[in-house]
């Protein structure tokens, strides 16, 4: 995956991230919508998920990389 593609997928994930208030995508109105999941899976497969600025690199595997989680 090129840097441009990774940047595109990261942008897609941020665009379709769950809203911290409503808990769903602000574009699609769904939690972890198809756009978000598609970009997420591509970044995981390419091993580029750690490039995400808000991703907590703590282990890997089946982590819940939910950008909208708030204490």
Residues near Zn ion, by CB under 5 A:
16, 25, 27-28, 33, 35
Minimal distance in Å, beta carbon 59 to Zn ion?
Answer: 26
Minimal distance in Å, beta carbon 25 to Zn ion?
Answer: 3
Cα–Cα distance, 39 to 22 (Å, whole number): 21
- Cβ nearer to Zn ion, comparing 35 with 51: 35
Q: Are 35 and 8 in contact, with CB atoms under 8 Å apart?
A: no
- Cβ nearer to Zn ion, comparing 41 with 57: 41
- Cβ nearer to Zn ion, comparing 2 with 64: 64
Q: Which two tokens stand for residue 39?
A: 């970009």
DSSP state of 56: -
Minimal distance in Å, beta carbon 38 to Zn ion?
Answer: 10
Report helix, strand and coil shares of the chain as percent, to nearest 5.
Answer: 40, 5, 55
């Amino acid at each position: 995956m090129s840097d441009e593609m990774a940047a595109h997928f990261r942008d897609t994930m941020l665009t379709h991230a769950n809203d911290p208030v409503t808990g769903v995508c602000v574009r699609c109105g769904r939690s972890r919508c198809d756009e978000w999941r598609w970009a997420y899976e591509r970044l995981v497969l390419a091993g580029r998920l750690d490039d995400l600025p808000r991703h907590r690199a703590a282990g890997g595997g089946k982590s819940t990389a939910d950008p909208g989680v708030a204490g």
